[in-house]
Structure 1
Amino acid sequence: MTKKIHKYSGKKLSRGEPPNFSGQHLMHNKKLLHEIINRANISKTDTVLELGAGKGALTTILNQKAGKVLAVEYDAKFIDILKQKTAQSSNTKIIHQDIMKLHLPNEKFVVVSNIPYAITTPIMRLLLDRPSSGFQRGIIVLEKGAAKRFTSGTIKNAYVLAWRMQFDINYVKEISRKNFSPPPKVDSAIISISRKTKPVIPNKHHTAFRGLAEFALREPKATIDTALRGIFTPPQIKHLKRNTKLKTDTLIASLTESQWGIVFETMMQHVPKPLWPRIRKKKPGRFR
């Protein structure tokens, strides 16, 4: 049986092994841990979801601030440690589960996590692909490269664009790999996420917008004329460029969130619904 080499740990992963078994780097800088909690602005009214709790470095600070803490951890050797550290904290629930099989809380919740590198994008998808969920805001530590990709002014991925129609995602600061044990091969970063007061695209149109985004961003380096051809007629594209104040040589990946809102609104008004692009089916087994 062929085994896949994990990107960060270098370990061989057997087929069927949960992808978040590896790639977890525990933070040991206490000053940084407190900074993360402070940035999250947690209060006793908050339910906090922590994904990849490890040995509880964040958990034991969170449960002093939050009304309820749901600490999710897959690694069995950390579960006993977590239970011991939180034994006197009635507001803390330890959940021994693969993160990717987790059902998100029904109530409104906040995420404060140092997430496993191995499943960075799947975790973000879990939180942001369904804007009707109770997720409100978060402070997340993740791989620096991913943090840059999720917050870049140039948006090359349709799913990232769809997230940013509903949520503000901001790059906060870089974190050196020296603050983790074992130290990863790359540096990390903190990002903040908050639900927009008024989403650019209403929740009910989320799926329709994803279809547009996937179609238009097939070639992120394409100009808007090329990227939108097949959805809009040449006169409609000309009208769009005028409304969005874009030049002919503007790359589709450089559009702002508000400009994408205009593109979507134009499609809804002037393109018959049967001609709207549809979301492509996901390929099985893809985690990143």
Structure 2
Amino acid sequence: MTKKMHKYSGKKLSRGEPPNFLGQHLLHNKRLLKEIVDQAAVSKTDTVVELGAGKGALTTILSQRAGKVLAVEYDDKYADYLKRITAHCPNTKVIQQDIMKIMLPKGKFVVVSNIPYSITTPIMKLLLSNPSSGLQRGVIVMEKGAAKRFTGEQMKNAYVLLWRMWFDIHYVQSISRNHFSPPPSVESAMITIRRKAAPIIPVKDYLAFRGLAEYVLREPNAVMAPVLRGIFTSPQLKHLRRELKVGSDVPVWALSERQWGLVFQAMKRYVPQPLWPRVRKKDVNRY
């Protein structure tokens, strides 16, 4: 009999195992848990979403600090336990559901979570790939390699570049494996997310910028000039290089967030809209 595969990680599921359970490592260090909530600056005016609430180590602290807590947990055993320990907390709601199928709040909200590592990127896409969402800020514990990729200067993925047009994502600190049960086999880290006060790209230009990002970052190690010749004329490209203050041999991954904003504005200014790179209709909802 063929085993059912985990929807997001591609790993085999044991009988009865929930789709988000793989990669869930529960934090138990009380000092660190308090640091996470402190870092999020949670107050009574905040609605907080916690993804992968587990046994509620973070949930109980959030319940004391936030105006409203939405604790998402799929596993029956953990969800039942969460409901019992938060029964006296009228501001806390336990949502037993697959993380990837939840409806995020329509209003402003904060995310504070120790997420399942096996679906780190899908969760980040859920949170950050819609710039018109109500997400204001967040603190997330995740696998260290992913944390470095999302916060590093080298942006080699179009979706990471998209996120950083609207959100500041910063690496805070590494976290010892000894603070988890069970200890993960990979290193862990804490990151912060904060919506930019002034976005680099207007939200209304999301799809247009995404088309540009996906086009250029198909080969992130490629030299900028040849890649952009598919969009700009030679005189336009020469002017753009002067505006960016870069040579013709700079790789596309080396451009900063602000430089990407300049590239997009130049495309809007000089290139007729029918010639802009576009997101294919079948891929519009991919993120």
- Is the CA contact 2:3–2:13 (under 8 Å) kept in the aligned structure 1? no
Q: CA RMSD, aligned part only?
A: 2.3
Pairing of 1:27-106 with structure 2 (within 5 A): 27-106=27-106
- Is the CA contact 1:19–1:119 (under 8 Å) kept in the aligned structure 2? no
Give, in angstroms, the shift of residue 246 of structure 1: 0.6
The residue number in structure 1 matching 2:117 is 117
**1:161 aligned onto 2:161:** yes
- Is the CA contact 1:169–1:193 (under 8 Å) kept in the aligned structure 2? yes
The SS at the match of 1:197 is coil
For this pair of structures, how many residues does the alignment match? Answer: 285
In the alignment, structure 1 segments of 5+ residues that lack a partner are none
Tell me which amino acid in the other structure corresponds to 1:90.
Answer: P
The SS at the match of 1:88 is coil
Pairing of 1:1-288 with structure 2 (within 5 A): 1=2, 4=5, 12-13=12-13, 19-280=19-280, 281-282=282-283
The SS at the match of 1:192 is strand
The SS at the match of 1:136 is strand
Tell me which amino acid in the other structure corresponds to 1:79.
Answer: A
Give, in angstroms, the shift of residue 13 of structure 1: 2.5
The TM-score with structure 2 as length reference comes to: 0.94
- Is the CA contact 1:6–1:22 (under 8 Å) kept in the aligned structure 2? no
The SS at the match of 1:12 is coil
Aligned-partner Cα distance in 1 for 2:19–2:275: 38
In the alignment, structure 2 segments of 5+ residues that lack a partner are none
Aligned-partner Cα distance in 2 for 1:242–1:190: 38
Instruction: Provide Cα deviations, 1:75-94, integer angstroms capped at 9, x if missing partner.
Output: 11101110111010000000
Give, in angstroms, the shift of residue 4 of structure 1: 4.4
Tell me which amino acid in the other structure corresponds to 2:49.
Answer: L
Instruction: Provide Cα deviations, 1:146-172, integer angstroms capped at 9, x if missing partner.
Output: 000000101000000010000000000
The SS at the match of 2:225 is helix
- Is the CA contact 1:6–1:13 (under 8 Å) kept in the aligned structure 2? no
Aligned-partner Cα distance in 2 for 1:231–1:4: 41
Tell me which amino acid in the other structure corresponds to 2:228.
Answer: L
Aligned-partner Cα distance in 2 for 1:143–1:282: 27
Aligned-partner Cα distance in 1 for 2:148–2:38: 22
Aligned-partner Cα distance in 1 for 2:87–2:69: 13
Aligned-partner Cα distance in 2 for 1:201–1:282: 21
Tell me which amino acid in the other structure corresponds to 1:146.
Answer: A
Aligned-partner Cα distance in 2 for 1:2–1:76: 21
